Each structure stands twice: as structure tokens, then as C-alpha cells.
Amino acid sequence: MTSRFFSIAWQILLLWLVFRCGTYLVALLHLALPGNVAGMLLMFALLASGVVKPARIEAGGGFLLKHFAFFFIPISVGLMAFGGLMRESGLALLGILVLSAAVGVVVTGVSVQFLHARSSR
């Protein structure tokens, strides 16, 4: 139990280091990417090249991914500040966001499913 706790904590520290490297690289190279996405690509390169074995980050990474949704709760609470705007033109904005999200989801979903089926043959 305790050894599992420590391996999770240690692995999260490792992931955090890769995240910091990603942030640093983005700043250094002036990339149009956020540091966390750059870190994800860097981590993928480390795994794909065999430098880091997946088992080295599986416990910590698995824990964070299992609770990935959690991190968006405190962020979403920030919507509280936009009560005024929502009262004024909330309905129009909501309509736009709903419509455009539906369009995007369906366009990507349908096109990938169609092309994926064709390239699988």
C-alpha cells in the first residue's frame, strides 16, 4: 500500500519534470503550443524511442488520467464571473456555442469514422 503510494508520487514527479521541460522548450523555441501539450509530445517521444519504459510511469500516469476530469471542475467554477454577460446576451451566446460544438463534433466524428473504415480495408 505505502510502496504503491510512493511509486505513484515518484512517477507524478517524473511527469511533472517532463511538463516543466515542455514549458521550457515552448518558451525557448517560441512555439505556438502550451507547455503541457508540448510535454505530452515530448513524453510520447521518450516512450516511442524506448528511453522511458511505459511501466515507469504507468501507476502515476494512470492515477492522473483516471481523475483527469477533476482538474476541470475548479477551472469551470470561473464561469461564475460571467453571470452579467450571461444575463445580457447569454441565450444568443449559448445558442452559438451549442450549435458550433455540435457541428464540429459531428464533422470530425462522421469524417473520421468514414475514412477510418475505408483505410482499414
Please report, as residue ranges, which positions from 54 to 93 form the binding site for another protein (by CB under 8 A): 54, 57-58, 60-62, 64-65, 67-82, 85, 89, 92-93
Q: Nearest distance from residue 23's CB to another protein, in Å? A: 8
Residue 107 near another protein by CB under 8 A: yes
Per CB under 8 A, 115 contacts another protein: yes
**Residue 50 · residue 96 · CB < 8 Å:** no
The residue (of 4 and 111) whose beta carbon lies closer to another protein is: 111
Site for another protein in 9-28 (CB under 8 A): 12, 15-16, 18-20, 22-23
- Phi first, then psi: give them for residue 49, nearest 5 degrees: -85, -5
Nine-digit cell at 17? 519534470
What is the crossing angle of helices 2-29 and 35-48, to 10°? 110
Using the minimum distance from each CB to another protein, give the nearer residue, 4 or 102: 102
**Which grid cell sits at 38?**
508540448
CA–CA dist 41, 19 (Å, integer): 10
Q: What is the sign of the dihedral through the CA atoms of 50, 55, 57 and 58?
A: positive
CA distance 48 to 17: 18
Looking at beta carbons only, is 1 or 32 nearer to another protein? 32
Q: Tell me the number of residues near another protein by CB under 8 A.
A: 77
Q: How far is the CB of 50 from another protein (least distance, A)?
A: 11
